[in-house]
Chains A and B, each alone.
Chain A
């Protein structure tokens, strides 16, 4: 505890780096996954290649991806963009399928009603399909967010500063305090992401609360 109090500022700095490395890929990943998921939903032939193909990317162990990306991107190994790219890949891998399934779960009669009311295809997507898909997409995003926070800490092995550095630091000195603080900080961060997505999803779907009151 004293160690934590003495190093609050360091921990906060690392936590902020962690938020950046885990959070930004969530946003980019979602923006990339939305059109891909939409395509996979719209063209039946694309569903399996897209979901299975992106799913395979998820199988690559994080440490391996952190090391391989510099060779592919031509970046230096200590460049934290490697981690951003890796986390974005994982997020997209998880979300393409979620988005496709979420859009597929939108009731057909609702879509037909929207079409009958004269909605254009684009307007129908943004005003009807996407909002109705929010709960399922949010469920996938929560899984992605929580696992991103955990995976980012692995990047400490290759020396990218974030909360994981507390683990390598504590381990190198056989000193528990930084490791415990790091684990707690990671869990708090994951819970914060989880809660944020939950709150956003609820705010975006007011009709769900109205229905649940009964």
Chain B
């Protein structure tokens, strides 16, 4: 079995042409990047504003949970059936999948941005106000830098979600590495399926590590503690560890905040 996978991966024929590994990898990255970019443009500002004003927090808290409950496969099929007939040519395969990728990427980014701003030490915010900063300046100079770790972890979760869902979208005709899994299954070529799966897993891992690296250097040393013992604004340790692991820390953070306030709107 392992030998079959190795010989599939080592076969030069699988590394050239329009359905070769490099082209498929490029497609996969391209779909993921464009979806992530569009979702970020929508969700980061929205999350920051909601975190800053506090308006719409119930909406974000519930959206984050609800969105995770929506099965991506079902959403994908609905979207293909709805949009597919309205589009022609390659667009009929491309756009329904991209819409799903964008829709699925928005909630983690939104809740990351929101939880990041929400979790900023109130003392830091008050100090900024006391120094005469306007609301906009507080957001830009204090809240956004302090929120960055969680903003990034939101985008990072979304990236994982997008890379995984782009794989599934191959069943609806999208290109990318998922093609090896789906096409391999159609002709019962298990080595091709497993090789594709291995490549997808490796790609997801690399994307995640790339985000971890960017996150590490984009976040202020005052927050990560990379600089000498910065004292201020570290009362919540949650942001400082955000560069360690992918997953759902922004969601757990939102849930925790939701849990804190639940008696208010529970019962």
Contacts and interface: CB of A to CB of B under 8 A. Distances in A.
Contacts of B204: 59-61, 64
A37 to B, nearest CB: 13
B70 A64 contact: no
Interface of B: 1-2, 5, 65-66, 68-75, 77-78, 80-81, 160, 163-164, 167-168, 171-172, 178, 181-182, 185, 190, 193-194, 196-198, 200-201, 204-205, 207-208, 244-248, 251-252, 255-256, 259, 262-263
Nearest to A138: B259
A61 B201 contact: yes
A150 B168 CA distance: 13
A150 B164 contact: no
Nearest to B64: A143
A170 B75 CA distance: 12
18 contacts: A56-B205, A62-B164, A63-B200, A67-B181, A71-B2, A140-B252, A142-B255, A143-B248, A154-B73, A157-B171, A167-B73, A167-B74, A167-B77, A168-B73, A170-B77, A171-B77, A176-B81, A194-B65
A106 interface: no
A154 B73 CA distance: 6
Interface string A158-172: 100001101110110
B74 A63 contact: no
Given A68-B201, A171-B80, A179-B78, A139 B2 contact: no
Contacts of A64: 167, 181, 196-198, 200-201, 204
B201 A58 contact: no
B73 A157 contact: yes
A156 B244 contact: no
Nearest to A201: B259
B69 A191 contact: yes
Contacts of B245: 51-52, 55, 97
Contacts of B197: 63-65, 67-68
A135 B262 CA distance: 12
A43 to B, nearest CB: 16
Contacts of A191: 69
Contacts of A140: 252
A-B residue pairs, 6 tightest by C-beta: A55-B245, A61-B164, A190-B69, A64-B197, A212-B263, A67-B197
Contacts of A55: 244-247
A149 B201 contact: no
Q: Of residues B66, B68, B196, which shows the largest number of chain A Cβ atoms within 10 Å of its Cβ?
A: B68
Interface string A14-51: 00000000000000000000000000000000001001
Query: Would you call the interface of chain B mostly helix, strand, loop, or mixed?
Result: helix
Given A139-B256, A179-B81, A212-B263, A146 B68 contact: yes
A110 B65 CA distance: 32
Nearest to A189: B69
Contacts of B263: 212-213
A186 B201 contact: no
Q: With a 10 A CB-CB cut-off, give which of B74, B160, B193, B204 has the most chain A CB atoms.
A: B74
A136 B196 CA distance: 37
Contact of A180 (B66, B78, B168, B208): B78
Contacts of A94: 247-248
Contact of B71 (A58, A65, A77, A186): A186
Nearest to A139: B255
A49 B256 CA distance: 25
Nearest to A181: B74
A196 interface: no
B168 A63 contact: yes
A61 B190 contact: no
A194 B66 CA distance: 10
Given A48-B244, A51-B244, A63-B178, 13 more contacts: A51-B245, A58-B246, A63-B167, A63-B168, A68-B198, A93-B247, A139-B256, A143-B252, A146-B69, A150-B68, A156-B73, A163-B71, A212-B262
